[in-house]
Chain A
């Protein structure tokens, strides 16, 4: 296992279309996070899972966004009826069950461009 894997790396879509991103965390990492990053900004928290349970959702996550982690392993982030403002880098991260440092292991991100 070489790290957090995200797919696709790049997605270009037309406004109004639906898109789905997939994240495969590091094996045995029970926590999985989704962040969004726009140019010149730090990663903005969207949501996180502990195993299959979605424990927190940001107010940034509108009704058009939904995330799942059905079996506590990989996760998907779906954006429905995309808008130009959704253009961003979507980052997935995972962390192990041990508490304390809070270190996250990030994937390389999925860049979304909405035309």
Chain B
């Protein structure tokens, strides 16, 4: 049961431009949403999160937007840097249960 979906397997952007990664979910019981970043041969690392009671959370170049009515969230990276190239996973949690999307591979070209 895919409760968290990332429909774009890959995204390529130019350095300095904005990267927008999207995620949809189906379970209305999720109360926290997170983005993780993964480099090859490493485990995912936490990037940013947002509570279901908020619609925006910002941390430096990274901003997460949550649209509860649409069950949609997005991660904006601006400006994008080559070091941001990685696989980004969207995740959603309800209590102790966390589910992940399939990931979007972001490539930032110099």
**A and B found bound together:** yes
Residue B41 is within 8 A (CB to CB) of chain A in the complex: yes
Minimum Cβ distance to chain A for residue B46 (Å): 5
Residues of A within 8 A of B45 (CB): 106
Residues of B within 8 A of A40 (CB): 9, 102-103
Residue A48 is within 8 A (CB to CB) of chain B in the complex: yes
* Segment at the B interface, from A62-70, A80-88, A96-104: A96-104
- A101 pairs with B100, CB closer than 8 A: no
- B97 pairs with A45, CB closer than 8 A: yes
A109 and B39 alpha carbons, distance in the complex (Å): 12
Residues of B within 8 A of A101 (CB): 32, 34, 49
Asked whether A100 and B41 contact (CB < 8 A) given A41-B102, A42-B101, the answer is no
- B98 pairs with A33, CB closer than 8 A: yes
Residue B16 is within 8 A (CB to CB) of chain A in the complex: no
- From A43, A55, A103, B46 is in contact (CB under 8 Å) with A103
* Residue with the highest number of chain B CB atoms closer than 10 Å, among A33, A93, A106, A107: A106
* Residue with the highest number of chain B CB atoms closer than 10 Å, among A33, A42, A91, A109: A42
Residue B93 is within 8 A (CB to CB) of chain A in the complex: yes
Asked whether A103 and B44 contact (CB < 8 A) given A42-B89, A56-B96, the answer is no
A40 and B104 alpha carbons, distance in the complex (Å): 9
- A31 pairs with B89, CB closer than 8 A: no
A41 and B98 alpha carbons, distance in the complex (Å): 15
Residues of A within 8 A of B97 (CB): 45, 48, 56
- A102 pairs with B34, CB closer than 8 A: yes
- A108 pairs with B41, CB closer than 8 A: yes
Residue B99 is within 8 A (CB to CB) of chain A in the complex: yes
Residues of B within 8 A of A104 (CB): 44, 46, 98
- Could you give 7 example pairs across A and B, Cβ below 8 Å? A4-B43, A31-B96, A42-B91, A50-B96, A101-B49, A102-B32, A103-B46
Chain B interface residues (CB < 8 Å from chain A): 4, 6, 9, 32, 34, 36, 41-46, 49, 51, 89, 91, 93, 96-103
